Amino acid sequence: MLSRVLSRAHSLTHATRCIEKSGGIDDYILYTKPKNLADSELALSLRTRLISAWEAQHQSTFDRRRIVYERLVAESAKQQALATATAGATTSTSTATSTSTSTEDDGSSAAVNHAA
C-alpha cells in the first residue's frame, strides 16, 4: 500500500500487517492498548463506538486485559495440543520403524544361527 500524500509505504505496510494479525480493523482498534491509539482522534472515537457495540453484543463490560489474556491462554493451549499431537505421531512412526527393523533382524539372526 502506498500513500502519495504521506510517502510512507513502510509504515502503511507495517500497519496493514498489524491489522491483519489482529483479525481485522475492529479487533485491532479494540485490543490495542489505548495509549497506542492516543495520537488518533479517529481511532479513539472508533474504539468508543466498538466498545459500546461489543458490550451490547456480549451483555458484559469490555475488559481488554482479561480478553487478551484469555486469547493468549487459548492460543497457548492450542499450540501445546498441536505439539503433543505432532510428537505423538513422530513417536508412533519411530516405534513402527523399530518394530519392523527388529523383526527383520530376528529373521536374519535365525538364518545365521541355523547355518552355523
Average pLDDT, the chain: 78
CB 1 within 8 A of CB 13: yes
Q: Is the confidence at residue 10, as pLDDT, over 70? A: no
Q: How many CB atoms lie within 10 A of CB 53?
A: 13
Number of separate domains in the chain: 2
The alpha-carbon radius of gyration of the chain (Å, integer) is 28
Over residues 12-35, the pLDDT tens digits come to 788 888 899 988 999 999 999 989
81 and 53 in a single domain? The answer is no
55 and 73 in a single domain? The answer is no
50 and 91 in a single domain? The answer is no
4 and 54 in a single domain? The answer is yes
What pLDDT is recorded for position 7? 61
Q: Is the confidence at residue 67, as pLDDT, over 80? A: yes
54 and 23 in a single domain? The answer is yes
Q: From CA 27, how far away is CA 44, in angstroms rounded?
A: 13
Q: Which residue has the higher pLDDT, 8 or 43?
A: 43
Over residues 82-107, the pLDDT tens digits come to 888 888 776 655 555 555 554 545 55
Q: From CA 67, how far away is CA 71, in angstroms rounded?
A: 6
55 and 84 in a single domain? The answer is no
20 and 34 in a single domain? The answer is yes
What pLDDT is recorded for position 49? 95
Last residue of one domain, picked from the residues 60, 78, 94: 60
Q: From CA 58, how far away is CA 82, in angstroms rounded?
A: 30
pTM of the predicted model over 0.85: no
Range of the domain at 29: 1-60
